[in-house]
Amino acid sequence: MVVFSEDHIKETTRRGRIEVICGSMFSGKTEELIRRLKRAKFAKQRVEIFKPAIDVRYSEENVVSHDSHTISSTPIDSSASILLFTSEIDVVGIDEAQFFDKGLVNVCNQLANDGVRVIVAGLDMDFRGVPFGPMPELCAIADEVSKVHAICVKCGELASFSHRTVNNDKQVLLGETAEYEPLCRRCYQEAMEEDKKKRE
């Protein structure tokens, strides 16, 4: 007789839910998303991963973390497209959710209500410290929210803010360490004051 552990039963029972992984740049959001999705695949679940088509920093098709962990994905332009690919799917992963339209909230709710486990990763705030895209609403409807942190490059404390180090006011600016740095609240406020003085 095979006895399954409680974790195994939780992983394999089809129960709709929404899990949100949020935080600043370089906090390990995508890495955690990939870890959960690979675990679901290991549990023989049917998994589909989506990312915004505009995010081609590391790969046009794969979801890739800053630490170069990777998992294959489907790039899409609209959140509504997710529903076209998710029949017969147990787990849906969505990376860089902040870049999707507001319709993503209804899509995630519909999937979860249909018994799909939905795992969403994204920036909770933009470079101005303002809630980003559909992320606030996703956090509100989620069954579980995991806020992950980077390390402040100025003082070594936990970082929750993504400071843009280049002069560009567009909300969406894909970038890496050349364009962004993770900062704690105090260092972020100081950096924003310095930026303001430079513009004056």
Active site residues: 96
- DSSP string across 52-81: ETT--SS-SSEEE-TT--EEE-EEESSGGG
Residue 168 and residue 154: Cα distance in Å, rounded? 21
Residue 164 and residue 127: Cα distance in Å, rounded? 6
SS3 content of the chain, % helix, strand, coil (to 5): 30, 25, 45
- Which phi and psi (to 5°) does residue 108 adopt? -65, -40
Residue 191 and residue 159: Cα distance in Å, rounded? 13
How many Cα atoms sit within 13 Å of 59 on the Cβ side? 16
Is the dihedral angle over the CA atoms 36, 152, 98, 74 positive or is it negative?
negative
Residue 189 and residue 152: Cα distance in Å, rounded? 12
